[in-house]
Chains A and B, each alone.
Chain A
Amino acid sequence: MTQLLPAALSPGLILMIVGVLIVGLPQAFRNMVSLAAVAIGFVHLVAYGMPGFGETTLFAQSSIAGFDLIGVRIDKLSMIFAIIFHIAALMNVIYGWRHATRLESSMGLIYAGAAIGGALAGDLLTLFVYWEAAALSSVFIVWAGGGHGAFKAGMRYLVIQVLSGLLLLAGIALHVGQGNGLAFEAFTWRFEDGGLNLAAVLILISFGIKAAFPFMHTWLQDSYPKASAVGAVMLSAFTTKLAVYTLARGFAGLDLLIYIGCTMTAFPVFFALIENDLRKVLAYSLNNQVGFMVAAIGIGTPLALNGAAAHAFVHIIYKALLFMSMGAVLIRVGTTKATELGGLHKSMPWTTIFCLIGAMSISAFPLFSGFVAKSMITMAAAKEHILFAYLILLFASAGVLEHSGIKIPYFAFFAHDQFSPSHTGKPRPKDAPMPMLIAMGLAAFLCIGIGVQPQYLFALLPFEAKYVAYTADHVVTQLQLLMFAILAFALLVKFKLYPAEIRSTNLDVDWFWRVPGRKVLMATVHSTATVWRRLWGLLTSACGVSLYRLYATHGPEGRIARVWPVGYTALTTAVVLGVVLLAVFISQ
């Protein structure tokens, strides 16, 4: 395809520039222009041409102060992420057609553009710029949620995101200092003498923060549920998946990532179980899903890396779909707390159906998109005979079914009917507004489309690896896992062993810096202030005493004033003036 725009112009930049320009436009124009920008960006991306396996083409190459910058790198790995980020941007624009605020429309497009630019960046410095642009644009989306809670969560989010950027910059500086160029390729984790490469460690932590590694994950559960209905959908797609891309590029095959990924898949399932806010449940679920990708990157075989890329692709769609369905509930009911919901299938049938499609996709039912991608990852673990990873990934698959497959649709749309007109005296909430239904319909179509016809997704995968999704044993083993897990759910509910939802806040590791950490910080602030006040007090009293003493000796009543009266000074001045006048007179 012929490129109409300069090849040096990153498709991400198109979205970012338009994102800035639309801020002054009225809503209808803003939406149309956003849609056009995503379409133009996508056509521009596709016009680079689909690269073959191992093919890389570079554009926007320049050299500044001896450093080689590569604005656009097209290969199969960058391409699949750039494509899915465009699809996510499209869904965001449609979903927010009526409900996105001016700020959300603008920042949403800049954020998507930054993620696309980051995925296509060929060097580390360009990546850093897009990395920071993604952080800064997305914090406005958190703030757009409104209220003091969103503001504070946004501030915490910003601190952590900026920390990730700083670590990346420090890592880049060390990496370049070691004599490497700026090109973004796989990092050396250990030197030949066995020592750890500090540059790689810093960069891994930076990527890990954005991928929400364990103990660095709470920014996600803290901020996403505080964004608006539209904002949470925007946020769900980009930051963590850009991090997955950078991990796949820089750290493929690093064993440590298998352990990190497995931990990420397993621990959020417990937090998701006891969480009352269903959007927060989805945030934990996001963590768990990214864990599958991280583990796959750690396994590092072509099949595993294909699994990570495929899973990122399908996950963005079904996670957005689930966030969209909860967003629709939020718009119509005003909350996504499970304790306040139930029975919405009666008046929100389309949203229910779309949510169920998202739930079945994320649970990896055959014929849905999650099945074709996730089984690639578990298969890769099995083929490498990593038993512990295999078992944890199976355990986590049952966990996904619990919180995203069952809990989300069950408590929102079924369970106890909370909206009965004979009890509330009000009509039931209406189904989602039309633009939201269209966006959800598009996502649901893709979930089923990819599940039924996975060859189109497989054609985009970055590495050469033979894989057939639909074999009899795959389908049977997956159905065994899912159906028996559902049986367990049914029995637990029947015997009243399934925990009821409770209005609560559940602590996570962020408690350490939000409570004791904050106390330590505030104590430091207070003690610094006290020390300063005392010092200032001492200084002012010392000055006061000195002034008083000076006054006592030199003041009008002072001893010196008695010896040297004012009259004497006046007389001296008059004499000096007289001498000067005389001198001037004589000299003339």
Chain B
Amino acid sequence: MTDHVETDHPEVPEHEKSIWEKPGTLKVIWVFLIASCGAAALGGFILAAQDKMHPHFTIDQFPAFYAVVGFVSFSFIVLAGQHLRKILMRDENYYNDDEGEET
């Protein structure tokens, strides 16, 4: 998909990279992210075992229901939403708002 080809973003020299661009930091973020996901899911199962989840419907009785909703919703929005561009995307100056063409 051509949309995903990143446009010309020249590599930033090493001395200008911040801590947030270092590969080491990115690794830490990945570990933290996966750990927090695991903890949140586990928390759901622990609370469910203690009968403290208080579901209101049948569907949310699954202890990791919200994890599934979060992951699926987000993925759906991004994967499906970008196809809207095929219908809705026009040139940046489509409405010609700054040209003053209509007076």
Contact = CB atoms under 8 A, between A and B. Distances in A.
A473 B54 contact: yes
The range of chain B's interface size is 35 or more
A30 to B, nearest CB: 30
B46 to A, nearest CB: 8
Given A152-B102, A385-B56, 16 more contacts: A382-B56, A398-B69, A398-B77, A399-B77, A422-B13, A472-B52, A473-B52, A476-B44, A477-B66, A479-B40, A480-B66, A481-B67, A488-B74, A500-B7, A504-B91, A505-B91
Contacts of A269: 77, 81
B16 to A, nearest CB: 5
B90 to A, nearest CB: 5
A271 B3 CA distance: 16
Contact of B40 (A398, A422, A476): A476
Most A Cβ at <10 Å: residue of B6, B56, B89, B102? B56
Contact of B66 (A226, A394, A418): A394
Interface in A505-536: 505-508, 514
B4 A502 contact: no
Interface string B71-87: 10111011111101101
Interface in B23-72: 30, 33-34, 36-37, 39-41, 43-44, 47, 52-54, 56-57, 59-60, 64-71
A497 B82 CA distance: 10
A490 interface: yes
A538 B18 CA distance: 77
B42 to A, nearest CB: 9
12 contacts: A339-B7, A346-B18, A399-B73, A402-B78, A421-B16, A473-B54, A477-B65, A479-B36, A481-B67, A484-B74, A502-B3, A505-B94
Nearest to B41: A480
Nearest to A482: B70
Contacts of B67: 480-481, 483-484
B3 A485 contact: no
B37 A483 contact: yes
B41 to A, nearest CB: 6
B82 A273 contact: yes
Interface of B: 3-7, 9-10, 12-13, 16, 18, 20-21, 30, 33-34, 36-37, 39-41, 43-44, 47, 52-54, 56-57, 59-60, 64-71, 73-75, 77-82, 84-85, 87-95, 97-100, 102
Most B Cβ at <10 Å: residue of A402, A480, A503, A504? A480
A383 to B, nearest CB: 7
Closest 8 CB pairs of A and B: A398-B73, A149-B97, A481-B70, A382-B56, A416-B9, A480-B66, A484-B70, A485-B70
B78 to A, nearest CB: 5
A420 interface: yes
Contact of A382 (B57, B81, B92, B102): B57
Interface of A: 147-149, 152-153, 226, 269-271, 273-274, 339, 342-343, 345-346, 382-383, 385, 387, 390-391, 394-395, 397-399, 401-402, 414, 416-418, 420-423, 472-473, 476-490, 492, 496-500, 502-508, 514
A488 B85 contact: no
B78 A492 contact: yes
Contact of B89 (A152, A226, A502): A502
A486 to B, nearest CB: 6
A394 B57 contact: no
Contact of B88 (A149, A274, A418, A484): A274
Nearest to B8: A416
